[in-house]
Structure 1
Amino acid sequence: MIHESTITVAADHPAFAGHFPGRPILPGVVLLGLAVRALGNVSGHPLPRYEIAAAKFLRPVGPDTELRIRLGESASGWRFDIFAADDVVATGTLRVGAP
């Protein structure tokens, strides 16, 4: 089963401050956090333990960009894809309950 959610990271998000002056870019750790939060929403509770098994960042994300997060179960965990419009900006796999 595929689960999708959308979020817009506002221009005043603290992660944009100083990252980078004149051309703000959302750090990859924030994108990973969005994927983890989306998976917690799917499971119905926050994830106390998880592992980022794989992650690739394919395109920069600027302020006020609407992001679509797609989650699907796979043999190795939960695959996530994060889109800005039709472009994949990040992809990877999360494992729940990993040490």
Structure 2
Amino acid sequence: MEFVVDAGHPALPGHFPGRPVVPGVVVLDRVVAAIESASGPLPPLRLPQVKFLQPLLPGQLARIELEPVATAPAGRWRFRVLRGEATIATGEIVAEAAPA
């Protein structure tokens, strides 16, 4: 799933004035939407080990890669958010998580 957060998004003015960065909660909202698109509605969840490695700027293309984790309890997902047309090899990972 690909997405772009528009420069007019209401979360951007306070995050950070003069140099907006897409807040992590906005990125994670897109991840949850991608998981629900793949598997249906989710119950309340927690994400104990999300790492934000690089900023995502307004207007940048981002891509979500999802992988269900077969060895974990049902409903566990590993994900990566990549910037643009990046691959893991180019180091353009914005965020990633794997179940604990």
Do both share a fold (TM > 0.5)?
yes
Measured against the shorter chain, the TM-score band is 0.7 to 0.9
- Aligned residue pair count: 90
Q: Highest relative contact order (Cα 8 Å, sep 6+), 1 or 2?
A: 1
TM-score in terms of structure 2 length: 0.81
Q: Take 1:60 and 1:34, find their aligned partners in 2: how far apart are those partners?
A: 15
Identity of aligned residues (%): 40
Instruction: Work out which of the residue numbers 48, 53, 57 in structure 1 matches 2:52.
Output: 57
Gaps of 5+ in 2: 87-91
The change in CA–CA distance for 1:65 and 1:11 in structure 2 (over 3 A counts) is: same
TM-score in terms of structure 1 length: 0.82
Report the aligned-residue RMSD. Answer: 1.6
Q: Counterpart amino acid of 1:51?
A: R
Q: Counterpart amino acid of 2:35?
A: L
Gaps of 5+ in 1: none
The change in CA–CA distance for 1:94 and 1:80 in structure 2 (over 3 A counts) is: same
